């Protein structure tokens, strides 16, 4: 046996199966400069060599006519044995018929005897080896070794090819295992792998019933491309039952299933699964469900919100935020008198146009960015009060909104006092509005903060009163200076008896607490008259004016003079 291992990289090993010694030598001479050549003189010897070397051959050259066991039989055995089927085989024969037959039986090429064209033989061997190695490389990239499902890249390629012929509606499904890393950490990787294989097998059984395909694009995530179905609870049940059936750690496992139903074929397969993933991720905080569907309207909204969050810093720099002012009028005298104003933020977005605070304040309250905006508004309002004061010789107090997030800012008091100092104002000139629902969030904290602010002299207006859930008991202990009646009572007070009664109730509470009421959202004279007769002191609403930019607001001040 001739095994040459040079100084360079180990040579590829080739098995020559040939009964005639002279032929073995001929082939050996042709190949041994390129390959590590191993010989066998008949079919049986070939199988022995294969098992001795554990099938580690890059190529087999196989004579068809041999004693003991001939080539056909070796070919059949090799192609039906998973350990050997990936060895390419070139058959060697003189008969034309045999060539065709052996190609049918799985041979990859043939060489005709006698062996009188060494370059051609060598070139054929090289080509076949090269082809097989490339194919093996592709196979290993296509298939996830752990689960036998497709790999991510190939999965998408497959879908693209499939879609060239497919018109039926399809669904993209994402399955994610919650806290999978914990399973690995607590029960070990073997158990983790077993669970993954189990889920993969369950998915495969499901797919056997249809023509879908699946892949495992990353550790604990599975993608399924599936003909559209109405009922997913079967799949859900099946998988849950399977992973519960024979797994140690089953009790710890929760799956999240996100479905992008009837995918939009004008988008890309990657997008279909991105969207299913969004639905899946949406289940993170929801322990009541394990299955969710992608909702494009919701997605649009999320994109819009992401855009707003992305744009906020630039908007502040570019002065896209502006402060509008809405007057509050005292109505108990003969004529309405301008008493104060509310500062309300506006976002003039260069591409999206005017955005209402109702669209971005709740969003920025969710991630704390509202603090930046509030500071900006307070600064602007401070400057504005000082400017009007020096121009007209008297103060129009302005109330600013203090968000529930600001209450947790230890610097709140200092920030506000700093603004007053910078503009030479007193606490009677900058009023603070805090929405009622903030009181129910964390009453203790709020009462503490409000008390300190009041001790400094600030006046606190409870905004949107009636929309929150303040208990009567809490109301008596809350330190406030003004109640702002929620707009929805005013809106319906003239056509709905209940709303009118609630307005009366708010008036009663204000008398009990001994604080004045501001009615918001007053649009009609009839509402104003009714509120006046009920004892309401202040009115804010479109009846007098919408919130307007500072120069327009100046006209109200001038009218007053
Ligand atoms: P809010 O503090 O209760 O402000 C009153 C809202 O009612 C304003 O809406 C105002 O334009 C609107 N409004 C006033 N009169 C009428 C009326 O007669 N009819 C109707 N239909 N609406 C009227 P806006 O400016 O859209 O603000 C909405 C909410 O956004 C505010 O409610 C407040 O909670 C919040 N907000 C606005 N600016 C700021 C701010 O600078 N900081 C914080 N934290 N929140 C703000
Ligand atoms: Mg307000
Ligand atoms: Mg309000």
Same domain, 371 and 257: no
In a domain, 313, yes or no: no
User: Confidence class of residue 242 from pLDDT cuts 50, 70 and 90?
Assistant: confident
From the list 208, 219, 211, the residue with the least C-alpha distance to 182 is: 219
Q: What is the CATH number of the domain that holds 361?
A: 3.20.20.450
Residue ending a domain, choose from 142, 172, 189: 142
How far from chain centre, in Å, is Cα 56?
A: 46
pTM of the model: 0.66
Same domain, 341 and 467: yes
- Euclidean distance between CA atoms 15 and 49, whole angstroms: 9
In a domain, 424, yes or no: yes
Q: How far, CA to CA in Å, does 257 sit from each of 180, 276, 294, 388?
A: 14, 8, 11, 59
- Name residues contacting ligand 1 (CB within 6 A): 326, 344-345, 356-358, 361, 370, 373-374, 377, 401, 403, 433, 463-464, 487, 520-523, 540-542, 547
Exposure class string for 194-227: b at 16+ Cβ within 10 A, else e:
bbbebbbebbeebbeeeebbbbbbeebbbbbbbe
Element housing 482 (H / E):
strand 482-485
Same domain, 138 and 208: no
User: Confidence class of residue 54 from pLDDT cuts 50, 70 and 90?
Assistant: confident
Same domain, 130 and 279: no
Same domain, 429 and 334: yes
In a domain, 544, yes or no: yes
Q: 3-state SS of 301-316?
A: HHHHHHHHHHHHHHHH
Report pLDDT for 53.
83
Mean pLDDT of all residues in 292-320: 91
Same domain, 342 and 289: no
Q: Where are the beta strands (DSSP E) in 79-196?
A: 89-93, 109-112, 170-177
First to last CA, the chain: 115
Same domain, 238 and 361: no
Query: Using CA positions, which residue lies closest to atom 4 of ligand 1?
Result: 344
Each residue's pLDDT tens digit, 85-117: 889 999 998 887 888 888 888 899 988 888 878
Task: For the chain, give the percent of residues with pLDDT over 90.
Answer: 60
Q: Which of 322, 323, 344 for a ligand 1 pocket mutation test, highest count of atoms within 8 Å of Cβ?
A: 344
Tokens representing 353 are: 């146009």
Same domain, 440 and 351: yes
Q: What is the CATH number of the domain that holds 186?
A: 3.30.70.270
Domain tally for the chain? 3
Q: Which residue range(s) make up the domain with 60?
A: 2-142
Tokens representing 51 are: 């098992």
Report pLDDT for 284.
84
Report pLDDT for 9.
52
Mean pLDDT of all residues in 307-330: 95
Residues with CB under 5 A from ligand 2 (ion): 401, 433, 463
User: Confidence class of residue 222 from pLDDT cuts 50, 70 and 90?
Assistant: very high
Same domain, 164 and 94: no
Q: Are 61 and 18 in contact (CB under 8 A)?
A: yes
In a domain, 371, yes or no: yes
Q: Which of 399, 520, 544 for a ligand 1 pocket mutation test, highest count of atoms within 8 Å of Cβ?
A: 520
In a domain, 310, yes or no: no
Beta bridge partners of 398: 341, 430
Within 143-188, where are the H helices?
Answer: 152-163, 180-187
Which of the pair, 453 or 297, is modelled with greater confidence? 453
Report pLDDT for 6.
33
Each residue's pLDDT tens digit, 346-382: 999 999 999 999 999 999 998 889 999 999 999 999 9
C-alpha 458 to ligand 2 mean position (Å)? 16
Same domain, 281 and 136: no
Q: What is the CATH number of the domain that holds 134?
A: 3.40.50.2300
User: Confidence class of residue 188 from pLDDT cuts 50, 70 and 90?
Assistant: confident
- Euclidean distance between CA atoms 73 and 213, whole angstroms: 36
Q: Are 460 and 482 in contact (CB under 8 A)?
A: yes
Pairing of strands 59-63, 89-93: parallel
Same domain, 211 and 82: no
Asked whether residue 439 carries a pLDDT value surpassing 90, the answer given is no
Same domain, 124 and 161: no
Q: What is the mean pLDDT of the chain?
A: 89
C-alpha 430 to ligand 2 mean position (Å)? 13
In a domain, 342, yes or no: yes
User: Confidence class of residue 18 from pLDDT cuts 50, 70 and 90?
Assistant: very high
Report pLDDT for 94.
83
Mean pLDDT of all residues in 20-43: 93
In a domain, 307, yes or no: no
In a domain, 315, yes or no: no
Each residue's pLDDT tens digit, 513-558: 999 999 999 999 999 999 999 999 999 999 999 999 999 999 999 9
Residue ending a domain, choose from 91, 116, 142: 142
Q: Are 354 and 348 in contact (CB under 8 A)?
A: yes
Q: How far, CA to CA in Å, does 143 sit from each of 27, 147, 213, 271, 401?
A: 37, 8, 12, 22, 58
């Amino acid at each position: 046996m001739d095994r040459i291992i040079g100084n360079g990289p180990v040579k590829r090993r080739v098995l020559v199966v040939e009964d005639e010694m002279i032929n073995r030598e001929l082939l050996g001479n042709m190949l041994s400069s390129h390959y590590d050549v191993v010989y066998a003189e008949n079919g049986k010897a070939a199988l022995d060599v294969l098992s001795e070397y554990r099938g580690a051959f890059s190529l087999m050259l196989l004579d068809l006519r041999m004693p003991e066991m001939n080539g056909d039989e070796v070919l059949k055995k090799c192609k039906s044995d998973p350990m050997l089927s990936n060895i390419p085989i070139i058959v060697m024969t003189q008969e034309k018929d045999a060539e065709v037959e052996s190609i049918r039986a799985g041979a990859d090429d043939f060489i005709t005897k006698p062996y009188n064209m060494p370059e051609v033989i060598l070139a054929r061997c090289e080509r076949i080896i090269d082809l097989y190695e490339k194919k093996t490389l592709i196979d290993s990239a296509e298939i996830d070794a752990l689960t036998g499902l497709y790999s991510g890249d190939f999965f998408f390629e497959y879908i693209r090819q499939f879609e060239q012929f497919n018109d039926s509606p399809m669904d993209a499904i994402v399955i994610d295992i919650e806290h999978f890393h914990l399973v690995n950490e607590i029960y070990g990787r073997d158990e983790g792998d077993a669970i993954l294989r189990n889920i993969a097998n369950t998915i495969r059984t499901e797919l056997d019933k249809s023509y879908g395909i699946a892949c495992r694009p990353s550790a604990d995530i599975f993608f399924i491309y599936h003909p559209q179905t109405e009922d997913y609870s079967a799949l859900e049940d099946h998988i849950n039952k399977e992973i519960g059936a024979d797994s140690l750690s089953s009790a710890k496992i929760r799956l999240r299933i996100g479905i992008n139903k009837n995918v939009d074929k004008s988008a890309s397969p990657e997008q279909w699964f991105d969207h299913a993933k969004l639905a899946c991720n949406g289940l993170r905080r929801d322990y009541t469900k394990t299955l969710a569907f992608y909702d494009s309207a919701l997605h649009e909204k999320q994109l819009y919100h992401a855009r707003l969050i992305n744009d906020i810093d630039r908007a502040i720099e570019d002065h896209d935020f502006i402060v509008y002012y809405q007057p509050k009028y005292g109505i108990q005298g003969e004529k309405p008198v301008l008493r104060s104003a509310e500062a309300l933020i506006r976002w003039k977005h260069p591409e999206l146009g005017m955005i209402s605070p109702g669209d971005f304040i709740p969003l920025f309250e969710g991630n704390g960015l509202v603090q930046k905006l509030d500071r900006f508004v307070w600064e602007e309002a401070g400057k504005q009060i000082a400017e009007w004061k020096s121009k007209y010789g008297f103060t129009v107090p302005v109330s600013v909104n203090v968000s529930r997030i600001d209450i947790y800012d230890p610097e709140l008091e200092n920030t506000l006092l700093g603004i007053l100092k910078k503009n030479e104002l007193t606490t009677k000139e900058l009023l603070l509005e805090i929405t009622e629902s903030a009181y129910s969030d964390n009453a203790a904290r709020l009462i503490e903060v409000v008390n300190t602010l009041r001790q400094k002299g600030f006046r606190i207006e409870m905004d949107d009163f009636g929309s929150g859930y303040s208990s009567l008991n809490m109301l008596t202990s809350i330190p406030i200076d003004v109640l702002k009646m929620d707009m929805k009572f005013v809106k319906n007070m003239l056509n709905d008896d209940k709303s009118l009664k609630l307005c009366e109730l708010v008036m009663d509470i204000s008398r009990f607490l001994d604080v004045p009421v501001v009615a918001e959202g007053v649009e009609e004279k009839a509402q104003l008259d009714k509120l006046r007769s009920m004892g309401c002191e202040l009115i804010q609403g479109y009846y007098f004016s919408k919130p307007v930019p500072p120069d327009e607001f100046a006209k109200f001040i001038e009218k007053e003079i």
